[in-house]
Amino acid sequence: MAGLEKNAEFSGKPTKSATTSTFFNRSNTIHGRTVVDSSPKSHNLNPSLNRTTSITKFYTPVESVGTSLKGKVKNLCRLFEGSKSAKPASPEIPQKQKSGKSLLPESRISPFSSLNNSVIRLPGTEDRIVVYFTSLRGIRRTYEDCYAVRMIFRGFRVWIDERDVSMDIAYRKELQIAMGEKSVTLPQVFIRGKYVGGADVIKSLFEIGELAKILQEFPMRQPGFVCHCCGDIRFVPCSNCSGSKKLFDEDEDRLKRCPDCNENGLIRCPDCSS
């Protein structure tokens, strides 16, 4: 055996025991720490087996990643803290003058305060609420505003004189004359013959409670009341021409236009719109 080991040393080939020892004694990297082999024979091995350089070349310590992330987080925190610290100054509440008058604009005190000073009037409607609207859904925003205003008034169960401009062109002309303008937006509301405003004004009056105070003066209807004559449509077919818009004149022996109905052959409901 001694002769075989000597022959192996002279031949330059490592024995089995030497190969095993070099396998366990070569340098390895475990959890970022390098274990250096104390055997000088490990330096004579193939360089590709030296895993220390191959791993540490592309390995970044966890501590350095943590510090870089912490720095980015701190910078972001500073940005957000800076934006929070620069809060807009809260508006100061205006105090009353010595005379007792408030510094708030009149429009913010009460939107209904200018109703008594309204120049626009609708004659013949001093005892009712008149709402000009449209039932057509051609313009979605206009239809939604008209529907919302009608539902607000119906929620108070008061009688409303609803005038649908899409059902009778005479209502449109009437509104244009009252407003003094050719192009008028819908809806438009008149209370006791005085002009109130459109959908935005009615919604704001409803939200602050002013509308409920005004409508207390009007009589309330029974819950769930529906007109049996027109079904709350406010129009019925003309009884004179049966909605045909034409009448036969026996004296002239020809057809004539019915003078009682509108362009659609309809008249206002005699029960709920008289």
Domains annotated on the chain, with CATH: 2-56 (no CATH), 111-217 (3.40.30.10), 235-268 (no CATH)
Confidence of residue 252 (pLDDT cuts 50, 70, 90): confident
Higher pLDDT, 43 or 122: 122
Task: Please tell me the least confidently modeled range out of 85-89, 134-138, 190-194.
Answer: 85-89
Contact between 268 and 235 under an 8 Å Cβ cutoff? The reply is yes
Res 67: pLDDT:
54
Q: Distance between CA atoms of 186 and 131, rounded to whole angstroms?
A: 9
Token pair listed for 16: 């089995």
pLDDT surpassing 50 at residue 192? yes
* Distance separating alpha carbons of residues 236 and 227, to the nearest angstrom: 11
Residue % of the chain over a pLDDT of 70? 57
Residue 89 has pLDDT above 70, yes or no: no
Q: What's the DSSP call for residue 161?
A: E
3-state secondary structure of 84: helix
Nearest to 152 by CA among 89, 195, 188, 206: 206
Provide the greatest CA pair distance for the chain. 153
Confidence band of 162 (pLDDT split at 50, 70, 90): very high
Judged against a pLDDT cut of 90, whether residue 135 lies above it is answered with yes
Q: If you write DSSP's letter for every residue of 45-71 in order, what string do you get? A: S-GGG-HHHHHHTT---HHHHHHHHHH
Express each pLDDT in 164-186 by its tens digit: 999 999 999 999 999 999 899 99
Question: Mean pLDDT over all residues of the chain?
Answer: 74
Mean pLDDT of the region 221-250:
91
Please tell me the predicted confidence (pLDDT) of residue 203: 95
Q: What is the mean pLDDT of residues 101-128?
A: 64
**Sequence-separated (6 or more) residues with CB below 8 Å from residue 173:** none
Does residue 162 sit in helix, strand or coil? Answer: strand
Q: In 10 A of CB 139, how many CB atoms? A: 12
The 3-state DSSP class for residue 204 equals helix
Gap between the Cα atoms of 5 and 56, Å rounded: 38
Name the amino acid, one letter, at 220.
M
The DSSP secondary structure of 217-271, one letter per residue, reads GSPBPPTT---TTTTTSSEEE-TTTTTSSEEEETTTTEEEE-SSS-TTSEEE-TT
pTM attached to this predicted model: 0.58
What's the one-letter identity of residue 250? E
Q: Is the pLDDT of residue 262 over 50?
A: yes
Summarised one tens digit per residue, pLDDT across range 70-81 is: 666 666 556 545
Tell me how far apart the alpha carbons of residues 65 and 11 are, in angstroms, rounded to a whole number.
51
Most confidently modeled of 12-16, 110-114, 139-143? Answer: 139-143
Task: Give the HSE-up count for residue 187: Cα atoms under 13 Å, Cβ half-sphere.
Answer: 31
State the DSSP code for 185. Answer: -
Say how many residues make up the chain. 274
pLDDT at residue 54 greater than cutoff 60: no
Least confident of 6-10, 105-109, 129-133, 237-241: 105-109
Report the pLDDT value the prediction gives residue 78, as an integer from 0 to 100.
64
The whole-number pLDDT of residue 142 equals 96
pLDDT of 261 higher than 90: yes
Phi-psi region of 272 (alpha: psi -120 to 50; beta: other; left: phi over 0): alpha
- Residue 234: phi, psi to the nearest 5? 75, 5
